[in-house]
Amino acid sequence: MRMIATAFFLSFFYLGFAQNLASPIAGARGAGMANASLTFADIHSIFANQAGLAFVKKTSAMAASERRFNLSHLSTFLAAVAVPTRSGTFGLAVHYFGFDAFNEQKIGLAYARKLLKNFSIGLQFDYLNTKVAEYGSKGVLTFELGFLLRATKKIQLATHLFNPARTELANGENLPTTFSFGGSFRPSEKVVLVVEVEKDISFDARVKAGIEYQVVEEIFLRTGISTEPAQASFGLGFKIKNGLKIDVASSYHQVLGYSPSVGLSFQFK
């Protein structure tokens, strides 16, 4: 019972009701960079900014998990697949957070395409369900929209909007509505710098910044920081043969501790 009470307290007061569905991790790759992942242009973008899917060239799949503050009751599981076609890229994303007594699920159907050579748009329709033991469950529909601009070979800009319709989840409690804006700068072929601002209309703005450094062709180092709450993050990425990638990461909160995560992604030939 103590663990259940702790999980409820953290979920409702620290994390915010349904906030996990509005701003999930973009896999362990994103987690290693404080989730500053708006400009991703691979399978991970389905959880951050669907417009990035328009630049996916091959069918891709991923799965990831995070244990928030190292508590099993606050675990997140993600899975997704993206299929590029001549008409654009289609994607399916699944997200689960919580445990038996309290959990949140999200299923998203995404579509992205290039409007211009270096400019894309992404749209995702979401079904979200929140379940609380002894109180039942409630499901709602909403959508999210994103844009990605490759301004130059070194600079990318992106925006993303989640739940602009202010969908009600339960008893006057609205699903979070968030707006994010950010960019990335690539000073060299091996280094990417990212900075983003995420604003939930009910809370203070959150700033996220990260760095990804390609040590050699098969190994990536990542780190990042974020505010609201203040956290530091770090991670590693490994390219394995035949399109398989493995990512590991962890964020650190000075009071609540570490949140480890791991992810796998695969690009089909």
The domains found in the chain, sorted by start residue, are 2-267 (2.40.160.60)
**Predicted confidence band of residue 195 (pLDDT cuts 50, 70, 90):** very high
CA–CA distance, 39 with 195 (Å, rounded to integer): 10
Paired tokens of 19: 């906030």
CA dihedral in degrees (180, 262, 12, 166; nearest 10)? 30
Q: Specify the amino acid at residue 50.
A: Q
Paired tokens of 125: 């329709």
> Contact 182/224 with Cβ under 8 angstroms?
no
> Contact 51/158 with Cβ under 8 angstroms?
yes
**Predicted confidence band of residue 170 (pLDDT cuts 50, 70, 90):** low
Give which of 11, 4, 171 is closest to 97, Cα–Cα.
11
Q: Specify the amino acid at residue 101.
A: A
What pLDDT is attached to residue 269?
A: 78
Q: Specify the amino acid at residue 147.
A: F
Of 47-61, 68-82, 113-127, the range with the lowest mean pLDDT is 68-82
Residues above pLDDT 70, as percent of the chain: 90
Q: What is the DSSP string of 81-143?
A: EEEEETTEEEEEEEEEEE-SSEEEEEEEEEEEEEEETTEEEEEEEEEEEEEETTTEEEEEEEE
What pLDDT is attached to residue 13?
A: 36
When comparing pLDDT for 256 and 61, which is higher?
61
Paired tokens of 222: 């990542």
Instruction: Provide φ and ψ at 167, rounded to 5°.
Output: -60, 135
**Predicted confidence band of residue 26 (pLDDT cuts 50, 70, 90):** confident
pTM: 0.88
Burial track 224-250 (b if 16+ CB lie within 10 A, e otherwise): bbbeeeebebbbbbeeeeeeebebbbb
Q: What is the DSSP string of 141-165?
A: EEEEEEEEEE-SSSEEEEEEEE-TT
Cα R_g (the chain), whole angstroms: 18
Q: How confident is the model over 231-255, as pLDDT tens digits? A: 999 999 999 988 899 999 999 998 8
Paired tokens of 183: 């960019």
CA–CA distance, 223 with 269 (Å, rounded to integer): 30
When comparing pLDDT for 146 and 25, which is higher?
146
